[in-house]
Chain A
């Protein structure tokens, strides 16, 4: 027989939204389990907190544009959670980072004004809050820039990045430092481990210094240490005598993994439990309530009973929402009804890749409290929500944080009510 575990709340999904919801619930005193099939988009995304980047013109102040978006698009996740949840959750996350496991590695910025950080293409991309090691790349503070990488890192082309930055008005040049590593291919995670070694940093800086001009800022792929990036960047700045900042790379994303560590550690500190490799394979319902979910994991299958559930399992990217070969769309974890799916016969996709894709904004139908349609006790957060196209809007982390935060708040309110009834 399956083992059974009892929780106040179970969160399905271990990405940004799920970890936020789980941590907030744990912090409110609930007994919480976060069930993660695998590592989510945290390991893929640039590590920045994007709240609102494009509407579709580039957003200068997320705060102002958010207010407009909330009034104009009542179906957007931000309209459901409200502006307060956005600002509160950002502050909450900044506190998590400040008190987190990475010394002196904080998040800077806020809702007043987007920072513009170069991407690996050299495009200036708007983010509301960014890791302190990346903030030096903010366009408004940049003079001339040297973009530096090593040939072993396929995911980063300094000259291409510099050419686009220059085209965007920031005088830049690329430096490919021909420095030996033992493999022809290195990914940013492997390089990050390398940069944790002071001897390597010394070697690297000795090679780089003669190529640098005075007054240059140094932009490097985000690979400057995993456990203590602030110290790594500080040491490089000391050795080079110049400002150093990180630029997000293609996955795997080192700053994304750091962000995951910040949230995971916050969850643990609050007493929440994280089960990795826990794929939800079935669930039980009674009337309008989900009563339990079962996971299939290495070792043994488990049943999690809970009063409340948060579905933060992601959208099409994670596979939690699926379009099958008969062109029918399903929510695969709990079989919840969807919203925003194009009707049969109307296009799911447009011919031009960069067009708005009709299917993209589909998600789990929810009410104004993020409660999933047809259920009393399932709340939805993050990319599972309909109405947004995060990668186009530059809104992924903002939605994940605010909706995870909000879902937890609604549930915590319910828990308090139950307590007052039973006591």
Chain B
């Protein structure tokens, strides 16, 4: 078994974990980050893309509002290239309590969230699709943030400084002695190889899964209540400003324009399983109904994709005798030295994407305490790679760049302007055999056709570069088909259904992928496509957590 040694082991490759790795790297620590899947494959990759101004929490959760506005200002600077400065509007629609607007203004003032009332006519002039019956409108500094770009920038920056990032490495055990955590054992999802990672401090940054990792470390009472919510991407920028209903936060009251789409969200359902990604039809209906209230005609737009993310709402069972109902949107940092008398272990959970940097800063401060050193945080001033010029992302930027070389370079995914050279580079660099990894890297297959054209093209390139067997190449294509289908079928209607039917012709008709060698049905004329479907489904589930049956590995066994 391979053994790695490091100062800081970060478990979890979401925004928080990668933020911790980036922060700790900048402070000069030796860092290893592990995730059971790809970066941003959990909650971070399943949100609406909103960089909060804090307005949403100004009344309900003032502390969260203060954190949001502070971080909003910092991220606009250090992660400039990942952020599009759309601005935001809070509007009082005919369906909202008109009295809330004044409460909202008071809340914003108290929490320091910039808020300026504008006339209804000015609001409608800037956003003509808005419900014409709005009675008040407030400008706030909401924006959108591209999470994958943010995470790649931080992870690449950290890697260039020596940090090791092991994706598709699942934690199978935490090295725990009586009063200390000394790292973890991980297993590669690709090769099955196990690696022991010895670490002076282990950071549990697994969000909604934090309770599972804490359990593995023998820490009691870390309870994360997963709150599942759905979001739907509508094809087109129905609005160009983030639109919030001016009311107490509820379901389906935010519409976020991001890249070429608009995302409406979200719902909030408690679930026992952080891997619960169900999309109930009544929640879909609610999103469409709420969308109509913000933008009349919403249902006529084309729904591209739905996804479901799980918020980590933290509840400390150890503190439950004092306040059982305090389930906060704010984050929770658990220093297990102070809380449980176990050194070398820190849990960070809760929070929201907008505050990931602050969470990382507090976490690495705790890491410093564990290591008995004082090193200043620099993530509030150090720009992420690619954001050094401080210029925000603009819609159309990629097309502009692409147009310069349109005749000379092949485009593999027209919807998202993914060029052949960028795809080939990403396949080589990551060594990945999964097209879904390429999606997170390059936005491959995220546009209106949802992989209808690029899937075959990209599979062909993957096959050549990775020297895959025919069977593995077929599997890559089928997995990506299934992955795209997962987010499509619950919202299929209208033109998107036409698109899918067209894709059916391409994949099942023209290419006949259901009968590709190794795809299950086989060339021998075996029983239809049932086998292929089973294979794709099984592969889709392979990323699921193996936290059940967790073992606590004694630290002595590590070496």
Q: Is the CB of B493 within 8 A of A54?
A: no
Chain B interface: which of A159-167, A274-282, A370-378?
Answer: A159-167
Within 8 A of A (CB), among B294-334: 299-300, 303
Q: Is the CB of A185 within 8 A of B411?
A: yes
Does B529 touch A at the CB level, under 8 Å?
A: yes
Q: Is the CB of B512 within 8 A of A123?
A: yes
Chain A interface: which of B357-365, B385-393, B497-505?
Answer: B497-505
Chain A, 50-62, contact with B by CB distance < 8 Å: what is the 0/1 string?
0000101110100
Within 8 A of A (CB), among B148-175: none
A154 to B455, CA, bound (A): 11
A154 to B453, CA, bound (A): 10
Q: Is the CB of A164 within 8 A of B474?
A: yes
A225 to B415, CA, bound (A): 29
Does A173 touch B at the CB level, under 8 Å?
A: no
Within 8 A of B (CB), among A144-196: 151-152, 154-157, 159-160, 163-164, 166-169, 182-185
Can you name 5 A-B pairs with beta carbons within 8 Å? A44-B505, A120-B456, A125-B512, A159-B460, A167-B517
Q: Is the CB of A391 within 8 A of B410?
A: no
Closest to B537 in A: A352
Residues of A within 8 A of B (CB): 41, 44-46, 54, 56-58, 60, 119-125, 151-152, 154-157, 159-160, 163-164, 166-169, 182-185, 248-251, 253, 315-319, 322-327, 348-355, 360, 390-392, 394, 396
Q: Is the CB of A391 within 8 A of B482?
A: no
Nearest Cβ in chain B — how far from A287, in angstroms? 33
Q: Is the CB of A353 within 8 A of B511?
A: no
Nearest Cβ in chain B — how far from A144, in angstroms? 17
A138 to B44, CA, bound (A): 49
Q: B303, B485, B509 — which one has the most chain A CB atoms within 10 A of its CB? A: B509
Nearest Cβ in chain B — how far from A153, in angstroms? 10
A152 to B502, CA, bound (A): 24
Q: B residues within 8 A CB of A163?
A: 463, 469-470, 473
Known A44-B510, A121-B477; further 6 A-B contacts with Cβ < 8 A: A58-B525, A155-B456, A317-B505, A318-B498, A319-B495, A325-B303
Q: A residues within 8 A CB of B456?
A: 120-121, 155, 157, 250
Nearest Cβ in chain A — how far from B146, in angstroms? 26
Q: B residues within 8 A CB of A44?
A: 502, 505-506, 510
Nearest Cβ in chain B — how far from A279, in angstroms? 15
Q: Is the CB of B407 within 8 A of A122?
A: no
Closest to B470 in A: A163
Does B425 touch A at the CB level, under 8 Å?
A: no
Does B494 touch A at the CB level, under 8 Å?
A: yes
Nearest Cβ in chain A — how far from B540, in angstroms? 9
Q: Is the CB of A391 within 8 A of B532?
A: no
Does B395 touch A at the CB level, under 8 Å?
A: no
Chain B, 23-35, contact with A by CB distance < 8 Å: what is the 0/1 string?
0000000000000
Q: Is the CB of A353 within 8 A of B509?
A: no
Q: Is the CB of A123 within 8 A of B501?
A: no
Q: B residues within 8 A CB of A151?
A: 410
A154 to B513, CA, bound (A): 18
Q: A residues within 8 A CB of B453?
A: 250
A251 to B481, CA, bound (A): 18
Does B550 touch A at the CB level, under 8 Å?
A: no
A230 to B405, CA, bound (A): 37
Q: Is the CB of A349 within 8 A of B513?
A: no
Q: Is the CB of A152 within 8 A of B509?
A: no
Contacts A57-B525, A121-B474, A167-B518 known; A251 to B506 CB distance under 8 Å? yes
Q: B residues within 8 A CB of A353?
A: 481-482, 485, 533, 536
A2 to B521, CA, bound (A): 55
Nearest Cβ in chain B — how far from A124, in angstroms? 6
Residues of B within 8 A of A (CB): 281, 288, 299-300, 303, 407-412, 420, 453, 456-457, 459-461, 463-464, 469-471, 473-474, 477-478, 481-482, 485-486, 489-490, 492-495, 497-498, 501-502, 504-506, 508-518, 521, 523-530, 532-534, 536-537
Q: B residues within 8 A CB of A354?
A: 478, 481-482, 508, 514, 529, 532-533, 536
Question: Of B407, B460, B489, B523, which is within 8 A of A123 by CB?
Answer: B523
A323 to B281, CA, bound (A): 15
Q: A41, A163, A322, A324 — which one has the most chain B CB atoms within 10 A of its CB? A: A163
Q: Is the CB of B533 within 8 A of A152?
A: no
Nearest first, the 7 A-B pairs at minimum CB distance are A56-B528, A157-B460, A58-B525, A163-B470, A317-B501, A167-B517, A353-B485
Contacts A353-B482, A391-B505 known; A120 to B511 CB distance under 8 Å? yes
Nearest Cβ in chain B — how far from A119, in angstroms? 5
Q: Is the CB of B463 within 8 A of A167?
A: no
Nearest Cβ in chain A — how far from B412, in angstroms? 7
Q: Is the CB of B529 within 8 A of A316?
A: no
Q: Is the CB of B457 within 8 A of A167?
A: no
Q: Is the CB of A46 within 8 A of B510?
A: yes
Q: A251, A348, A355 — which one has the most chain B CB atoms within 10 A of its CB? A: A355
Q: Is the CB of B470 within 8 A of A348?
A: no
Q: Is the CB of A121 within 8 A of B506?
A: no
Q: A residues within 8 A CB of B299?
A: 324-326
Contacts A121-B516, A123-B515, A248-B510 known; A57 to B494 CB distance under 8 Å? no
Q: Is the CB of B492 within 8 A of A120?
A: no
Q: Is the CB of B492 within 8 A of A392?
A: no
Question: Of B411, B471, B537, which is within 8 A of A167 by CB?
Answer: B471
Q: Is the CB of A392 within 8 A of B470?
A: no
Q: Is the CB of A323 within 8 A of B494?
A: yes
Q: Is the CB of B493 within 8 A of A325?
A: yes
Q: A residues within 8 A CB of B510?
A: 44-46, 119-120, 248-251, 253
A167 to B474, CA, bound (A): 11
Q: Is the CB of A184 within 8 A of B515?
A: no
Q: Is the CB of B481 within 8 A of A316?
A: no
Closest to A318 in B: B498
Q: Is the CB of B523 within 8 A of A160?
A: no
Nearest Cβ in chain A — how far from B245, in angstroms? 20
Q: A residues within 8 A CB of B489?
A: 349-351
A316 to B469, CA, bound (A): 36
A354 to B539, CA, bound (A): 14
Q: Is the CB of A122 within 8 A of B508?
A: no
Q: B408, B456, B461 — which one has the most chain A CB atoms within 10 A of its CB? A: B456
Contacts A183-B407, A316-B497, A352-B533 known; A121 to B523 CB distance under 8 Å? no
Nearest Cβ in chain A — how far from B473, in angstroms? 6
Question: Of B482, B485, B506, which is within 8 A of A250 by CB?
Answer: B506
Nearest Cβ in chain B — how far from A152, in angstroms? 7
Q: A residues within 8 A CB of B474?
A: 121, 164
A168 to B409, CA, bound (A): 34
Q: Is the CB of A57 within 8 A of B512?
A: no
Question: Of A58, A159, A182, A325, which is within 8 A of B463 by CB?
Answer: A159
A106 to B411, CA, bound (A): 35
Question: Of A123, A166, A316, A323, which is within 8 A of B513 by CB?
Answer: A123
A120 to B512, CA, bound (A): 9
Q: B residues within 8 A CB of A41?
A: 505
Closest to B464 in A: A159
Q: Is the CB of A121 within 8 A of B512?
A: yes
Q: Is the CB of B533 within 8 A of A157?
A: no
Closest to A185 in B: B410
A164 to B537, CA, bound (A): 22
Q: B residues within 8 A CB of A355?
A: 529-530, 533
Q: B residues within 8 A CB of A120?
A: 456, 510-511
